[in-house]
Amino acid sequence: MGFFHGKTSKQTSRVKKLLKLALSRLAIAQRPRLARKSISRRDVSQLLALGHLHRAFLRTEQVIEEDNMLQAFDIIELYCKCLIEHAVQLDKPQECSEDIKEATAGIMFAARWCGDVPELLVARNILADKFGSDFTVAAKEGTGIVNPMLVWKLSGDRTNVELKKKVAKEIAAENNILVDFSEL
């Protein structure tokens, strides 16, 4: 009945409130990550300028990690906004659009990776009750409808040599530092 009148159930209302809190918490969690990314990029630049290629190369892992988390936060923010905007659909999970299912699965997957945003864990439990165990298991594992980019950003390999070289080269180019990476 609530579906036709634009009203939501108590659980859906609670999820909506939790996601609004998560949005504000995401904004707060981004600040220190932006600072760490900036510091790490500066460290890499200084190490490259001093000729410490191996140390700079190792430090790029921190740059990659912070950048991945910031991009994941952006995706999570979009999912939260989507679910808040279309909360009415959450009362009828079988009738949800693919976008709502993707956003729900993304939130459920991200909850375990984002300790900075504990509201996502509570929201995940409520959404798990609504969407059922099969959907929940697939979402928690990062399979099925979960956005592969979100899975990679949260759990991807930060030690990929080619990625580290690419990031180090970008930082070197930004700071007009000539570096020969052939010895790595």
pLDDT score, position 5: 46
**What percentage of the chain exceeds 70 in pLDDT?**
95
Q: Is the four-CA dihedral 119, 85, 142, 57 of positive or negative sign?
A: negative
Record the pTM.
0.88
For the CA atoms of the chain, what is the radius of gyration?
20
Percent of the chain with pLDDT over 90: 75
Q: Does domain 8-183 have CATH number 1.20.1260.60?
A: yes
Residue 56 pLDDT class (50, 70, 90 cuts): very high
Q: Domain spans of the chain?
A: 8-183
Burial class of residue 77, CB neighbours in 10 A (0-12, 13-18, 19+)? middle
**Smallest Cα–Cα separation from 44: which of 180, 183, 182, 174?**
174
Give the pLDDT confidence of 113-150 residue by residue, as tens digits.
Answer: 998 899 999 999 999 999 999 999 999 998 889 999 99
Task: Tell me the pLDDT tens digit for each residue of 67-98.
Answer: 999 999 999 999 999 999 999 999 888 889 99
